[in-house]
Amino acid sequence: MITKESILSILAQVSDPEVPVLSILDLGIVRDIQIHDDDKVDIGITPTYSGCPAMSMIAVNIKMELLAHGLKQVNIHEVLSPAWTTDWMTEEGKQKLNAYGIAPPQYNTANNPHERDAVVPCPLCESKDTVLVSQFGSTACKALYKCNSCLEPFDYFKCH
Ligand SMILES: [Zn+2]
């Protein structure tokens, strides 16, 4: 018997192609799960950054993972509104990001839209003495920072 919980435990194994330590549940992009006839499922996902090519890959990965777990038919549709924000990322997801060496979003965009003022602690040594090097890091979703304490550069997952 397929339940929403069993679907969620399968989706927890689908990772973000850009940051493999994050599952799509950590990202908070799964908006809707509908189960029909026990072996058909409809999943609604909200795209993250519009410039991120990862979404079609995520959709394919969701499909493959669910089919591998015995579902017969998997439909994935995009839920474009409301738009995804980094506020939807789980606390666990943020901790995983930090452990992976990427500074997680520092602000809740709903409460504080002024990300420019963000102090981004270094994920390596936790120093707050860091500087923005470039608004665009390894991908458009990330900014490149450098730590003045340990001198290491690191990516910051920008609030959005
Ligand atoms: Zn550092």
Q: What is the pTM of this model?
A: 0.86
Residue range 134-144: average pLDDT?
83
52 close to 16: Cβ distance less than 8 angstroms: no
What is the number of other CB atoms lying within 10 angstroms of the CB of residue 143?
Answer: 20
3-state secondary structure of 22: coil
Ligand 1: centre distance to CA 148 (Å): 7
113 close to 133: Cβ distance less than 8 angstroms: no
Helix residue ranges per DSSP H, the chain: 4-11, 24-27, 54-68, 91-100
pLDDT tens digits, 48-66:
865 566 788 899 999 999 9
pLDDT score at 61: 94
Ligand 1: centre distance to CA 118 (Å): 16
Ligand 1: centre distance to CA 73 (Å): 47
Q: Which of 112, 140, 109, 137 is nearest to 123 (CA)?
A: 137
Ligand 1: centre distance to CA 25 (Å): 29
Ligand 1: centre distance to CA 104 (Å): 14
Instruction: Say whether pLDDT at 115 is over 60.
Output: no
Domain boundaries, the chain: 4-78, 90-157
Ligand 1: centre distance to CA 63 (Å): 39
Alpha carbons 144 and 132: distance in angstroms, whole number: 6
CATH 3.40.50.720 fits 4-78, yes or no: no
Q: Could you give the percent of the chain with pLDDT greater than 90? A: 70
Q: Which two tokens stand for residue 79?
A: 């839920």
